[in-house]
């Protein structure tokens, strides 16, 4: 039986888990105890979870985050979101083909009264922002309830295998995201005034100032907080293109969830849409998991993400197509290829530039939208409410950690707790951490070829400073007042001790070390490497590349080692000609042939650009109405059903707004959609106080 599990990973430990069995369409498969149904299906190579009742098109996972409702299956007779529901031993799982049959029930269940509670502070979301806020409130001894819909705290931090950018002092920069989650979780556990509910989904904020929470997957509870902090993070934006609902097209965050949390290999060859940090990092995570990355398109002329992330991907052998867009994902039941094209300055595809690539997955990484429905309702209803992290403003997780900390302290003060004033510098740091990349400078490479030199291939202003703390002699500096400045080596050629801490510790893998001391003509170059050790060893021939991913030559590996502060990053040493030594920035990871275009591009003729995934409403249908003069999204909803589906218009609303923009309608002429609770679908029985049966 094919097994699509990740068996080894350079960063993540592979836990031993109990094997259980479940059936899919009558066949028996193996799953790991404690994994979701979706991951168990992916681990067995099953990607099509059902067919849409409207047009019978195949359905697969999209968000893997309990938001979009695309991954419904029938588990033991009941329709469930396979990305949220854990697989059970002996579970019968069937595809959700058409409308599900509601199971018959003979007995009236026992109802319990709905539990209601008062609490000074309720925090929705236990990611970086919520955790940090909870810690501040815990320090102040304020009774706080933190709810999170996942099985563990940390939010998206637990998906991040890379070292974090940002400020070492303020937000644990230099530490891997997964480890930051564990640290924050541990810090929080010291504070008895904070209660944590996991697997607890916030359903809505009501006009009587109560917040409805489905506790631990079943018990509906109404919480009345004095202050509400919404730290519910973000959801991924969907994108309009032909074939965009084919199984195999999913969000980059979904991909990271499957790979880094659930340790399944959902793809063999994937293509990434979007050159922001999320897309760039997802590409890196794919390579770490042994998945090929065929390419990445970015519509702008430059990637929006950090240059170091882009460079890292480029020099591992991933082609990055800027000023390109996706035209279509192609395939019958799932993605078989992708077609891209170059765009002009108006972002219109240029005929004749189409190319297709074989791939089995397309990752959409075109940005995030705040999960702000709870915040907006709370404001409407006059509840004292704050928001932090991505729920407030989309930025890096490091910024979310810091904004949560500030909000936690602010709330403590509002509640009259005798906590210290918030230093003005906190707000400044908060702003710096949120800032987008700034100027890019030309890389300054030293010309004197002697002694030992760290080469810093980091030439863009980004909020990041771990390197400044790594050099034991303090020779690498980043402006302390503004960590967005680019780092500089302030020593000469004879003061670096060649300890390689900067090489192993730079989150962007953007520092190499060139040692001329034994042979000035043929110096040794130390290169950071974050892949499994067994794929590289001394005497291997590797292709070395510069920051842009240009090949510099094939060289022999002379040594692979770690240093005490490595934390799983390997240091690979090669000997190179002095002429190229300082230019070497990385080692090519994947073979070039995976990135070659197909001989002919795949024309996608079906008009299946879907805007509303839930109700399968196409862009064409909505455009037609906009051209007829429709300006109220609620009227579009009336006529097409767009936004009436299971996700509560979370996925399609931003796309419909974009269609208005594309049709030249200013958005102030458009009436937005009504948003109504519950924001996640919940069985009627839960509201009646029924404890749901175990599946």
Partner 1 sequence: MNQTSSTNFDAIVLGAGSIGTPTAYYLAKCGLKVLVLESVPSVGQGSNKRAIGGIRATHSDPAKIALCLRSIEIFSTFKEEFGDDIEWDRCGYAFVAYREKEEQTLKNLLKTQKTFGLNINWLDAATFREVIPDINPDGLLGGTFSPDDGSASPLLTNHAYYTHAEELGVEFHFFEPARSMQVENGKIVSLTTDRNTYTAGIVVNCAGAWASEVGKLAGVDLPVRPDSHEAAITEPVARFLGPMVVDIRPAPGSTNYYFYQHITGQIIFCITPAPNAWGFDTRETSSFLPMVSQRMIEVMPRLKNIRVRRTWRGLYPMTPDGFPIFGWAPGISNFLLGVGLCGQGFMLGPAGGELLARLAMNNLTEQDMTTLKYVSPERSFEGQELLK
Which positions touch partner 1 (CB under 8 A)? 53, 78-79, 98-109, 111, 114, 204, 206-208, 210, 212, 220, 222, 380-381, 629-632, 634-635, 638-639, 646, 648, 671, 674, 676-678, 681-685, 687-690
State the Cα–Cα distance between residues 377 and 643, nearest whole angstrom: 18
Residues 631 and 628: their CA atoms lie apart, in Å, by 9
Q: How far is the CB of 110 from partner 1 (least distance, A)?
A: 11
Looking at the Cβ atoms of 54 and 603, the one nearer to partner 1 is 54
For the bound state, the minimum distance from the C-beta of residue 22 to partner 1, rounded and expressed in Å, comes to 20
Return the number of the residue (2 or 113) whose C-beta is nearest partner 1: 113
Query: Across-strand partners of 29?
Result: 22
In the bound state with partner 1, the residue whose beta carbon lies nearer, of 428 and 676, is: 676
Specify whether the CB–CB gap between 516 and 450 falls below 8 A.
yes
Tell me the residue length of the chain.
Answer: 695
Least distance from partner 1 to the Cβ atom of residue 55, Å: 15
Q: What DSSP character marks residue 301? A: S
Cβ distance to partner 1 smaller for residue 77 or 423? 77
**Closer by beta carbon to partner 1, 81 or else 583:** 81
**CA torsion angle for 393, 395, 399, 405 (degrees, to 10)?**
30
Contact 302, 438 (CB under 8 A): no
Least distance from partner 1 to the Cβ atom of residue 694, Å: 14
Residue among 487 and 673 whose Cβ is closer to partner 1: 673
> Min. distance of Cβ 94 from partner 1 in angstroms?
13
For residues 631 and 637, what is the distance between their CA atoms, to the nearest angstrom? 11
Residue 77 C-beta: closest distance to partner 1, Å: 9
Q: Tally the C-alpha atoms within 13 A of residue 406's C-alpha that lie toward its C-beta.
A: 23
The three-state secondary structure class of 484 is coil
Q: How far is the CB of 234 from partner 1 (least distance, A)?
A: 22
* Separation of alpha carbons 606 and 315, rounded Å: 37
Question: For residues 456 and 226, what is the distance between their CA atoms, to the nearest angstrom?
Answer: 50
25: left (phi over 0), alpha (psi -120 to 50) or beta: left
Q: Which is nearer to partner 1, 217 or 295 (CB)?
A: 217
Nearer to partner 1, 550 or 671 (CB): 671
Question: Please, which residue, 102 or 448, has the CB nearer to partner 1?
Answer: 102
H-helix segments, 106-234: 128-139, 168-171, 177-189
Distances (CA, A) of 111 to 106, 545, 680, 693: 15, 66, 22, 13
Q: Kindly tell me which of 210 and 484 has the beta carbon lying closer to partner 1.
A: 210
Burial letters for 276-296: b for 16+ Cβ neighbours within 10 Å, e otherwise? bbbbbbbbbbbbbbbbbbbbb
What is the smallest separation between the CB atom of 216 and partner 1, expressed in angstroms?
18
3-state secondary structure string across 58-115 = EECCCCCCCCCCCCEEEECCEEEECCCCECCCCEEEEEEECCCCCCCCCCCCCCCCCE
- The CA distance from 275 to 256, in Å, is 16
The interaxial angle of helices 128-139 and 397-414, nearest 10 deg, is 30
Judged by CB, which is closer to partner 1: 486, or 633? 633
Residues 6+ apart with CB under 8 A from 664: none
Minimum distance of partner 1 from residue 646's CB (angstroms): 6
In angstroms, how far is CA 550 from the centroid of its own chain? 28
Q: What is the DSSP string of 599-654?
A: SSPPP--S--BEEETTTTEEHHHHHHHHHHT--BHHHHHHHH-TT-STTTTTTHHH
Taking the complex as a whole, the smallest distance from the CB of residue 333 to partner 1 amounts, in Å, to: 23
- Which of residues 502 and 646 has its CB atom nearest to partner 1 in the complex? 646
* Euclidean distance between CA atoms 484 and 479, whole angstroms: 8
Residue closer to partner 1 (CB basis): 111 or 427: 111
Least distance (Å) between residue 199 CB and partner 1: 17
Q: DSSP assignment of 428-453, as one string?
A: HHHHHHHPPP--BPPP-------SEE
Smallest distance, Å, CB 102 to partner 1? 4
User: Shortest gap between Cβ of 625 and partner 1 (angstroms)?
Assistant: 11
Instruction: Name the minimum Å distance from CB 133 to partner 1.
Output: 24
Give me the least distance between CB of 413 and partner 1, in Å please.
Answer: 29
Contact indicator for 549, 581 with CB cutoff of 8 Å? no
Could you tell me if 324 and 45 are in contact, meaning their C-beta atoms sit under 8 angstroms apart? no
| Burial of 256: CB neighbours in 10 Å, binned 0-12, 13-18, 19+ | buried
- Measure the CA–CA gap between 534 and 536, rounded to whole angstroms: 6
The CB-of-385 to partner 1 minimum distance in angstroms stands at 15
Nearest CB to partner 1, comparing residues 444 and 638:
638
Nearest to 270 by CA among 246, 252, 244: 252
Nearer to partner 1, 320 or 659 (CB): 659
Smaller CB distance to partner 1: residue 75 or 453?
Answer: 75
């Amino acid at each position: 039986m094919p097994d699509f599990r990740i068996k080894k990973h350079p960063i993540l430990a592979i836990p031993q888990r109990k094997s259980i069995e479940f059936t899919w369409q009558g066949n028996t498969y193996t799953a790991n105890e404690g994994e979701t149904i979706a991951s168990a299906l992916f681990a067995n190579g099953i990607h099509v979870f059902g067919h849409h009742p409207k047009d019978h098109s195949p359905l697969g996972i999209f968000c893997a985050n309990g938001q979009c409702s695309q991954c419904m299956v029938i588990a033991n007779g009941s329709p469930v979101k396979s990305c949220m529901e854990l697989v059970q031993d002996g579970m019968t799982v069937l595809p959700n083909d058409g409308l599900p049959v509601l199971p018959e029930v003979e007995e009236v269940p026992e109802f319990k009264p709905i539990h209601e509670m008062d609490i000074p502070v309720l925090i929705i979301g236990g990611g970086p922002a919520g955790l940090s806020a909870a810690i501040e409130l815990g320090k102040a001894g304020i009774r706080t309830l933190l709810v999170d819909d996942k099985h563990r705290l940390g939010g998206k931090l637990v998906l991040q295998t890379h070292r974090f950018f940002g400020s070492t002092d303020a937000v644990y920069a230099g530490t891997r995201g997964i480890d930051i989650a564990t640290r924050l979780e541990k810090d929080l556990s010291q504070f008895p005034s904070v209660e944590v509910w996991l697997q607890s989904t916030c359903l809505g904020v009501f006009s009587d100032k109560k917040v409805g929470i489905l506790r631990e997957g079943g018990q509906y509870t109404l919480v009345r907080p004095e202050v509400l902090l919404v730290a519910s993070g973000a959801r991924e934006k969907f994108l309009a293109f032909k074939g965009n609902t084919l199984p195999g097209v999913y969000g980059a965050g979904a991909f990271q969830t499957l790979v880094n949390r659930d340790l399944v290999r959902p793809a063999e060859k994937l293509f990434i849409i979007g050159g922001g940090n999320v897309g760039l990092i997802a590409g890196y995570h794919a390579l770490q998991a042994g998945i090929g990355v065929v390419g990445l398109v970015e519509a702008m002329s430059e990637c929006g993400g950090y240059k170091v992330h882009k460079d890292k991907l480029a020099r591992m052998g991933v082609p990055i197509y800027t000023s390109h867009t996706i035209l279509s994902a192609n395939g019958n039941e799932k993605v078989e290829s992708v077609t891209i094209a170059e765009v002009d300055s108006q972002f219109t595809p240029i005929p004749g530039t189409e190319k297709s690539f074989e791939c089995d997955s397309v990752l959409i990484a075109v940005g995030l939208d705040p999960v702000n429905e709870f915040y907006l309702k709370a404001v409407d209803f006059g509840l004292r409410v704050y928001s932090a992290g991505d729920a407030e403003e989309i930025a890096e997780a490091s910024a979310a950690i810091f904004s949560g900390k500030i909000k936690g302290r602010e709330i403590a003060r509002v509640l009259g707790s005798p906590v210290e004033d918030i230093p003005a510098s906190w707000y400044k740091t908060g702003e710096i951490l949120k800032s987008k990349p700034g100027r890019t400078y030309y890389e300054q490479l030293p010309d004197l070829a002697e002694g030992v030199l760290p080469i810093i291939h980091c030439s863009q202003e980004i909020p990041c400073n771990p390197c400044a703390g790594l050099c034991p002699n303090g020779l690498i500096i980043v402006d302390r007042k503004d960590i967005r400045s680019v780092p500089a080596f302030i020593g000469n050629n004879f003061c670096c001790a060649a300890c390689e801490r900067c090489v192993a510790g730079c989150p962007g893998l953007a520092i190499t070390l060139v040692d001329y001391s034994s042979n000035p003509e043929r110096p040794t170059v130390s290169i950071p490497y974050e892949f499994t050790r067994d794929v590289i060893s001394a005497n291997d021939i590797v292709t070395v590349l510069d920051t842009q991913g240009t090949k510099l030559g094939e060289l022999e590996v002379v040594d692979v080692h770690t240093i005490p502060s490595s934390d799983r990053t390997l240091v690979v040493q090669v000997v190179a000609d002095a002429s190229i030594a300082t230019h070497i920035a990385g080692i090519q990871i994947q073979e070039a042939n995976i990135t070659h275009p197909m001989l002919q591009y795949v024309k996608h003729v079906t008009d299946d650009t879907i805007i509303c995934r839930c109700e399968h409403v196409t862009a064409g249908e909505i455009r037609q109405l906009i051209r007829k003069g429709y300006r109220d999204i609620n009227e579009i909803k009336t006529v097409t059903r767009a936004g009436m589906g299971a996700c509560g218009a979370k996925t399609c609303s931003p796309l419909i707004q974009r269609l208005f923009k594309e049709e030249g309608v200013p958005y102030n002429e458009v009436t937005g959609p009504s948003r109504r609770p519950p924001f996640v679908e919940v069985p009627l029985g839960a509201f009646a106080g029924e404890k749901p049966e175990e599946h």
